[in-house]
């Protein structure tokens, strides 16, 4: 039986939550493998809306094991608040259906403070972070000074970790004009929250490998989008983790041979939150219309998303860097009623045509999109559950996207409701 990785193939907000929920019905284990509570997934099930940031989308489904892997940076206070919120909505959460990797790094209040202070004082070029401490926590992980979940179980080890952390952070804070960290208060906070978090802690790598050997179906859930990848995204306007499919293996403790199918989630147009290059961005009535019809506001931040035409160049790149087997095309219904639609097929800069987005930041900011124009459709695609329900022009649009990105459509989503989905290829069939 196949194990499936789900990744966003644009700048995030592609509709991963619905697709993961749709797939999770047939999965046994659903695992988050990177990012933090800067991610946002919205699920609509039976008319009830669930908004998740840290918890895997499978948590709202009974009989599934949800896993937060070591590749995630975990804000324990945000986690408990999210658990409380879902519990109030009738979702049962316990160590029986939720596990957290013992070696997952923690986001502390000092990380958020540092994140916000840097962003507010950056007069050169703001990155557009959520200010939730994701980047500083990853920095501490790589710098070998982060506090991990397992450290909460041993006050002596915790003391050593805090001291090492303070040496670094107090120097940074002094440079930013911030007061030194109150060490005793921080330790007290961690000791207070430890008994609430530790019951969920487990050797996730071991549990995941045992599940694989037992023939369980594993669904790996990515956060953000591939264009925010720290290596292959529009650097420096990226997140601080690897958002491509390869992270599913190292972010949970499974080897790459555990991955059988990579599903890239792709919106039928393009959006972006925050700063950074966006070649197909529309600042006209069409862009406004996409934003209004698509309800383009961030799940976590509430920030308005920038909107533009579908960029086949970028999606072709992300399909390559994540080894995408097939895409799930979402929000096709947002395009209903447009007289004409455009697809970006390349870029032009100073007389040179590019079939990829250049790596250099100055070139990324200057490229001009090359478009081809397609006939729109006036019929509604909302709720379509078969190709026969789609207008001919909509099918032609989808087929052209497949050609340009060099990757087939495996799923087609036509509304936020989980059952309004056209299945072309079953990812779990391997």
Q: Catalytic amino acids?
A: 13, 41
Q: What is the CA radius of gyration of the chain?
A: 22
- What pairing do the DSSP bridges indicate for beta strands 352-354 and 340-349? antiparallel
Select from 27, 34, 298 the least CA-distant residue to 19.
Answer: 27
Residues 6+ apart with CB under 8 A from 394: 332, 335, 377, 379, 381
Q: State how far the Cα of 126 lies from the Cα of 388, in Å rounded to an integer.
A: 47
Q: What does the alpha-carbon distance between residue 114 and residue 173 come to, in Å, rounded to a whole number? A: 7
**Residue pair 330/16 in contact by the 8 Å Cβ criterion:** no
236 prior amide bond cis, ω within 30: yes
Burial class (CB in 10 A: 0-12, 13-18, 19+), 381: buried
d(CA 403, CA 411): 16
Give residues with Cβ within 8 angstroms of 95, minimum separation 6.
Answer: 199, 200, 202
By the 10 Å C-beta count (0-12 exposed, 13-18 middle, 19+ buried), 125 is classed as exposed
- Give the end-to-end CA distance of the chain in Å, rounded to a whole number: 7
Copy the structure tokens of residue 13. Answer: 């907000």
| Cβ neighbours of 45 (radius 10 Å) | 15
Report angle CA 166, 169, 171 to the nearest 5 degrees.
105
Number of neighbouring beta carbons within 10 Å of residue 297: 13
Pairing of strands 201-202, 98-101: parallel
Residue 98 sits at the vertex; the CA angle it makes with 95 and 104, to the nearest 5 degrees, is 105
Strands 340-349 and 368-375: antiparallel
| 32 strand-pairing partners | 68, 221
């Amino acid at each position: 039986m196949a194990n499936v990785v789900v990744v966003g193939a644009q700048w995030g907000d592609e509709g991963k939550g619905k697709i993961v929920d749709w797939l999770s019905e047939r999965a046994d284990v659903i695992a988050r493998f990177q990012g933090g509570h800067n991610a946002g997934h919205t699920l609509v099930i039976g008319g009830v809306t669930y908004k998740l940031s840290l918890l895997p989308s499978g948590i709202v489904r009974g009989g599934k094991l949800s896993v937060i892997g070591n590749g995630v940076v975990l804000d324990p206070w945000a986690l408990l608040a999210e658990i409380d919120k879902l519990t109030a909505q009738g979702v049962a959460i316990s160590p029986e259906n939720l596990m957290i990797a013992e070696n997952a790094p923690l986001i502390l209040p000092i990380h958020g403070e540092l994140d916000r202070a840097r962003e507010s004082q950056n007069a050169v070029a703001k990155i557009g972070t959520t200010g939730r401490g994701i980047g500083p926590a990853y920095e501490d992980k790589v710098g070998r000074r982060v506090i991990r979940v397992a450290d909460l179980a041993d006050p002596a080890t915790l003391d050593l970790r805090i001291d090492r952390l303070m040496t670094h952070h107090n120097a940074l804070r002094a440079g930013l004009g911030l007061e030194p960290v109150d060490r005793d208060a921080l330790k007290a906070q961690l000791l207070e929250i430890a008994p609430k978090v530790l019951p969920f802690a487990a050797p996730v790598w071991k549990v995941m490998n045992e599940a694989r050997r037992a023939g369980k179906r594993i669904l790996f859930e990515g956060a953000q989008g591939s264009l925010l990848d720290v290596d292959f995204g529009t650097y420096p306007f990226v997140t601080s983790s690897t958002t491509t499919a390869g992270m599913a293996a190292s972010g949970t403790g499974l080897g790459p041979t555990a991955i059988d199918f990579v599903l890239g989630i792709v919106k039928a147009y393009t959006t972006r939150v925050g700063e950074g290059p966006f070649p197909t961005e529309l600042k006209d009535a069409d862009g406004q219309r996409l934003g209004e019809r698509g309800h383009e506001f961030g799940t976590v931040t509430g920030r308005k998303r920038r909107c533009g035409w579908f960029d086949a160049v970028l999606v072709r790149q992300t399909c390559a860097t994540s080894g995408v087997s097939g895409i799930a095309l979402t929000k096709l219904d947002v395009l209903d009623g447009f007289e004409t639609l455009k697809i970006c097929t390349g870029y032009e800069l100073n007389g040179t045509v590019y079939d990829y987005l250049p790596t250099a930041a100055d070139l990324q900011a200057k490229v001009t999109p090359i478009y081809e124009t397609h006939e729109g459709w006036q019929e509604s695609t909302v709720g379509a559950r078969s190709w026969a329900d789609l207008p001919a022009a909509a099918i032609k649009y989808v087929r052209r996207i497949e050609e340009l990105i060099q990757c087939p459509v495996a799923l087609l989503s036509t509304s936020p409701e989980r059952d309004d989905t056209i299945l072309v290829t079953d990812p779990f069939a391997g």
